[in-house]
Structure 1
Amino acid sequence: MADQTARQRARRTALDAQARMRARRVDQERRRDALGVMVISALAERDAVVSVCEARAGAALVKMTEQERLSLAEAVEWCGGAELLTVREAARLRQAAQSEGVAGPVCGARTTARTRRPRVPATL
Structure 2
Amino acid sequence: MGQQSIRQAARRAALGEQAQRRRERAERDRRIEALAVEVLTALEERKAAIADCEGRAGLALQKLTADEGLSRAEAAEWCGGELTKRMVATLLRGAAPPRERPEKL
TM-score range, shorter chain: 0.7 to 0.9
Equivalents in 2 of 1:44, 1:55: separation in Å? 16
> If each structure's helix is expressed as a fraction of its own residues, which one has the higher value?
2
Determine the structure 2 residue equivalent to 1:12: 12
Determine the structure 2 residue equivalent to 1:47: 47
Identity %: 49
> Which region of structure 1 is more displaced relative to structure 2, 18-27 or 40-49?
40-49
Q: With the length of structure 2 as denominator, give the TM-score of the two structures.
A: 0.87
Equivalents in 2 of 1:69, 1:7: separation in Å? 90
Which structure 1 residue ranges, 4+ long, deviate > 6 Å from structure 2?
Answer: none
* 2:88 equivalent to 1:85: no
Equivalents in 2 of 1:26, 1:46: separation in Å? 30
Equivalents in 1 of 2:53, 2:90: separation in Å? 13
Equivalents in 2 of 1:89, 1:10: separation in Å? 70
Q: Which ranges of structure 1 fall in alignment gaps of 5 or more residues? A: 111-124
The aligned amino acid for 1:89 is M
The aligned amino acid for 2:99 is G
1:29-68 superposed matches below 5 A: 29-68=29-68
Aligned length: 103
Equivalents in 1 of 2:99, 2:38: separation in Å? 36
* 2:94 equivalent to 1:96: yes
- Report deviation, 1:104: 2.3
Q: Note the alpha carbon deviations across 1:34-72, whole angstroms, 9 max, x for none.
A: 111111111222122111111110001111111222111
Equivalents in 2 of 1:7, 1:87: separation in Å? 79
C-alpha RMSD over aligned residues: 1.6
Q: Which ranges of structure 2 fall in alignment gaps of 5 or more residues? A: none
